[in-house]
Structure 1
Amino acid sequence: MVDQEREKYHHGDLKTALIEASEGIIREEGVEGFTLRKAAKAAGVSPGAPSHHFNGTKGLLTAVAIRVFKRLETKLNALPFSGIAAQDIRTQALGYVTFAAHNPGLFRLICRVDLIDFKDPDFIQASFDALTRYAKAAAAYFGQEPPDLHRRVFRPHMASAMATAHGLAHMVIEGRPAVLLDTPDPVGTFIETMLPSVLLATWPD
């Protein structure tokens, strides 16, 4: 097993295998069900491999979070851009909530600053890049400057825009639409039929 791990590491596969295994566990069991031992077993490596290559649980979960943020970036950047500020911020918020609904365990992970190293430079870059399109749409809507990674300025309207999408995302992954809708798929129904109206009420044309 050690020789196999060395071979995988030599080809750059071991870290990826551990990240993918960890992601799979979190998808199935949530971050609460994650352990380094489970990750090692799922990746087919020795129990000590995750700690050795990621310096413990926080290091591995940070690597997973970076991967999730990159996936979120891809999803949000693929959404249509109209150049109309109100429409674009609504589109981005809808995409953000939809991503959370499809990836509840992983979404909860990227929100847990107690479990990840939120000061890690790669994490900071990935989280900023993931939300840049959304932040630019919000800045355009409120007539403010686009975000700058190296010049963090608190803007109440921007914070409100992020809090709105984030709050709706948590409402969805916590199953709150089931209180409003008696359907086989309350989350999907809420996103398709009600959420656009909520976003329009929040950011009208």
Structure 2
Amino acid sequence: MTGPERDKYHHGDLKTALIEASEGIIREDGVEGFTLRKAAKAAGVSPGAPSHHFNGTRGLLTALAIKVFKHLEAELNALPSSGIPAQDLRTQALGYVTFAARNPGLFRLICRVDLIDFKDPDLIETSFDALTRYAHAAAAYFGHDAPDLHKRVFRPHMASAMATAHGLAHMVIEGRPALLLDTPDPASTFIETMLPSVLLATWPD
């Protein structure tokens, strides 16, 4: 880090600045438009700063992915709980798809196993925490125990529930609703008017 950078940033400030800069780039240009050089320029630091502090692109994007998963966790945890398993599962799935629609670039990032380190302990824990409410809703609906972070067991019902929401999320961010709806904002119209019926057909009361 150069002298001016040391004066400008203290302790974790530089890392935070680089993560925030990376988030801005991906929101604007998607993961395809991200480079370490762009992140450094946006943060106002030297081109070598990202590699020095995050050991390269993978490290920086993993740190950003952790932030995104925390954002997802906050949104899903804020959704109402009815105590009715089917309704709660539909609510969680709707929230998951809505999050993807509002944050398409960041959502794509957390799905890219080639760009982030899915073996990073912090990422593992944060990604698990992000989907805890969803997992509990799915487990209650199917009559199974909720997943345990420390017991990596394949659960077909959870895979099915996750695949459903995940597939719908990708369908929305890839623009598929435009094939069904002739509205100014097909994605929002789909989420508001059609998705609840799709989820009800998938997980009826």
**Normalising to structure 2: TM-score of the pair?**
0.98
Residue 24 of structure 2 aligns with which residue?
24
Alignment of 1:80 with 2:64, yes or no, is: no
Residue 70 of structure 2 aligns with which residue?
70
AA at the equivalent of 2:110:
I
State the secondary structure of the residue aligned to 2:131: helix
How do 1:145-164 and structure 2 match up within 5 A?
A: 145-164=145-164
Contact 1:96 1:165 in 2 (8 A): yes
Q: Structure 1 residue 158: deviation in Å?
A: 1.0
How do 1:1-205 and structure 2 match up within 5 A?
A: 2-205=2-205
C-alpha distance in structure 1 between counterparts of 2:62 and 2:8, whole Å: 21
Contact 1:9 1:15 in 2 (8 A): no
Q: Percent identity?
A: 87
State the secondary structure of the residue aligned to 1:148: coil
Contact 1:62 1:116 in 2 (8 A): yes
C-alpha distance in structure 2 between counterparts of 1:70 and 1:84, whole Å: 25
Q: Structure 1 residue 9: deviation in Å?
A: 4.5
CA offsets per residue over residues 36-90 of structure 1, 9 Å max, x none? Answer: 0000000000000000000000000000000000000000000001111000000
C-alpha distance in structure 2 between counterparts of 1:44 and 1:133, whole Å: 38
The count of corresponding residues between Structure 1 and Structure 2 is: 205
Contact 1:18 1:50 in 2 (8 A): yes
Q: Structure 1 residue 5: deviation in Å?
A: 2.0
CA offsets per residue over residues 110-132 of structure 1, 9 Å max, x none? Answer: 00000000000000011000000
C-alpha distance in structure 1 between counterparts of 2:115 and 2:132, whole Å: 23
State the secondary structure of the residue aligned to 2:154: coil
C-alpha distance in structure 2 between counterparts of 1:132 and 1:126, whole Å: 10
C-alpha distance in structure 2 between counterparts of 1:51 and 1:39, whole Å: 11
State the secondary structure of the residue aligned to 2:163: helix
Point out the more displaced range, 153-162 or 53-62.
Answer: 153-162
CA RMSD of aligned residues (A): 0.9
Q: Structure 1 residue 6: deviation in Å?
A: 2.1
AA at the equivalent of 2:137:
A
State the secondary structure of the residue aligned to 1:97: helix
Long gaps (5+) in structure 2: none
C-alpha distance in structure 2 between counterparts of 1:93 and 1:142, whole Å: 15
AA at the equivalent of 2:103:
N
Contact 1:40 1:49 in 2 (8 A): yes
Q: Structure 1 residue 8: deviation in Å?
A: 4.5
State the secondary structure of the residue aligned to 1:154: coil
C-alpha distance in structure 1 between counterparts of 2:107 and 2:113, whole Å: 12
